[in-house]
């Protein structure tokens, strides 16, 4: 009998973890950092002691208690979680921490699969000191649509569209049927055909587990903003700033947008200056000659502010007061393109915006949503027409409505279910 357990993403956005078990073998789809329903106990300035990150997370319930999954060296001595468990393999959908953030704690004897692009991204981050807590797992590059056997189960990775390289969904074929998992997916990005191809491959599956981030968020009506909109707005904002400095917050893990912004800035006669840490990551990730802050310096920005776009390394905002040293002109603007801090739901956001107000720098949001809209989610689900639909990675799973005969199931945390949606 096949069972499915949901150890994350239940009633909240992020922290996906889906455990599929058949006989003496397990497949874990994603192993993301838990995103708490209430206040985040690990928000800055909290800093966990190296080697104790997992133990502290387990102590406060911020990591799942799954036996036989973790590296015993990361656990407290005698913790029963270090006992042997079923033969397990882990499959990561993409390189955002709410999907991969706990992968560094996996027992090194357990293979961790991901797309080559995802592994390259996370390896580049590790090379500049921004890797996964616990270190890199035993990464296994998994080519697109290449089946992997895990005991009686077969797992297949399928590339989808999201705002980071190598994003994937998975099909898990078991003795009792097929489970499809979207990871994070969208249909208005650069490559929507990838996501629709996943819908074709998943069509008629027994259980579809889909992200539902957009549900209940109250997004603006109308078509979603596309990457073409983002690019056009960036170009327009650079022209409007005239000879004044432009500030930027974009997500460096979106390497395609990095490349596009570099092209737009060059066409506008500007160069993007990255904080040193971001520049080091981009260099490791293969971006040619990213311009680091230390290679330019404050004097150059003051001498010719209109020649630059600057994205500082804000990190935990300790250096935000340094913004007061910048040559801020009457047309200076801060362009926020899905960068750090991510948004009003973050504890850092209020401090960030308070500093911008104090410095008289307007904030202009020009990003594009990284997840499927509610309309696209419904179209996607109707095309797949699974027997059972399971919305996770959302605060409002009840707002995803399948067509008959598909049955929606809203799971409870860590409860085993059969592929037909009944409790095991």
Full 3-state SS string of 1-63? CEEEEEEECCCCCCCCEEEEEECCEEEEECCCCCCCCCCCCCCCCCCCCCCCHHHHHHHCCCC
How far apart (Å, rounded) are the C-alpha atoms in residues 159 and 185? 10
How far apart (Å, rounded) are the C-alpha atoms in residues 366 and 231? 9
Domains of the chain with bracketed CATH: 2-218+370-408 (3.60.15.10), 227-365 (3.40.50.10710)
Helices and strands, counts by H and E, the chain: 11, 19
**Is 122 in a helix, a strand, or coil?**
helix
The more confident residue out of 71 and 38 is: 71
Highest mean predicted confidence (pLDDT) among 56-60, 62-66, 76-80, 110-114: 110-114
How far apart (Å, rounded) are the C-alpha atoms in residues 50 and 189? 37
* Nearest CA among 222, 210, 157, 181 for reference residue 369: 222
Please tell me the predicted confidence (pLDDT) of residue 46.
76
**Is 131 in a helix, a strand, or coil?**
coil
Residue 311: band (very low, low, confident or very high) from pLDDT cuts 50, 70, 90: very high
Give mean pLDDT, residues 195-210. Answer: 98
Phi, psi dihedrals of residue 200, rounded to the nearest 5°: -65, -45
Question: Is residue 46 exposed (0-12), middle (13-18) or buried (19+ Cβ within 10 Å)?
Answer: exposed
Q: Is residue 365 within 8 Å of residue 349, measured between CB atoms?
A: no
The angle that helices 374-384 and 192-202 make with each other, rounded to 10 degrees, is 30
* pLDDT of residue 37 exceeding 70: no
Q: What angle do CA 323, 121, 298 make, to 5 degrees?
A: 20
Please tell me the predicted confidence (pLDDT) of residue 38.
64
Q: Is residue 73 within 8 Å of residue 107, measured between CB atoms?
A: no
Give mean pLDDT, residues 271-288. Answer: 96
- The 10s digit of each residue's pLDDT in 233-242 is 999 999 999 9
- The 10s digit of each residue's pLDDT in 94-129 is 999 999 999 999 999 999 999 999 999 999 999 999
Please tell me the predicted confidence (pLDDT) of residue 318.
66
């Amino acid at each position: 009998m096949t069972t499915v357990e949901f150890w994350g993403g239940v009633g909240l956005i992020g922290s996906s973890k889906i455990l599929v078990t058949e006989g003496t073998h397990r497949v874990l789809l994603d192993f993301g950092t838990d995103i708490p329903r209430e206040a985040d106990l690990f928000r800055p300035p909290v800093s966990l002691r190296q080697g104790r990150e997992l133990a502290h997370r387990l102590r406060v319930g911020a990591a799942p208690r799954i036996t036989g999954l973790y590296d015993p060296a990361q656990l407290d001595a005698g913790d029963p979680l270090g006992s042997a468990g079923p033969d397990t393999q882990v499959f990561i959908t993409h390189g955002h921490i709410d999907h991969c953030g706990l992968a560094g704690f996996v027992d090194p004897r357990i293979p961790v699969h991901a797309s080559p692009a995802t592994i390259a991204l996370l390896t580049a981050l590790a090379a500049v000191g921004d890797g996964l807590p616990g270190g890199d797992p035993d990464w296994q590059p998994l080519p697109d649509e290449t089946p992997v056997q895990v005991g009686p189960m077969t797992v297949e990775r399928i590339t989808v569209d999201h705002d980071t390289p190598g994003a994937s969904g998975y099909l898990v074929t078991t003795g009792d049927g097929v489970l499809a998992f979207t990871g994070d997916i969208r249909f208005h990005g650069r490559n929507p055909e990838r996501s629709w191809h996943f819908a074709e491959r998943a069509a008629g599956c027994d259980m579809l587990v889909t992200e539902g981030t957009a549900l209940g968020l109250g997004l603006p009506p109308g078509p979603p903003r596309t990457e073409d909109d983002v690019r056009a707005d960036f170009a327009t904002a650079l022209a409007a700033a005239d000879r004044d400095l432009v500030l930027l917050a974009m997500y460096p893990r979106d390497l395609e947008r990095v490349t596009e912004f570099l092209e737009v800035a060059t066409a506008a006669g500007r160069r993007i200056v990255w904080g040193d840490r971001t520049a080091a990551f981009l260099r490791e990730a293969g971006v040619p000659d990213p311009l680091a802050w230390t290679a330019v310096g404050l004097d150059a920005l003051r001498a010719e502010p209109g020649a630059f776009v600057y994205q500082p390394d804000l990190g935990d905002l300790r250096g935000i007061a340094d913004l007061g040293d910048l040559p801020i002109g009457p047309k200076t603007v801060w362009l926020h393109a899905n960068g750090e801090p991510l948004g009003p739901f973050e504890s850092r956001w209020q401090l960030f915006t308070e500093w911008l107000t104090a410095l008289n720098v307007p904030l202009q949001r020009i990003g594009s949503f990284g997840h499927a809209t509610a309309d696209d989610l419904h179209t996607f689900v109707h095309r797949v027409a699974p027997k059972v639909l399971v919305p996770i990675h959302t605060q409002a799973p009840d707002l995803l409505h399948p067509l008959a005969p598909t049955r929606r199931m809203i799971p409870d945390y860590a409860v085993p279910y059969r592929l037909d949606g009944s409790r095991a």
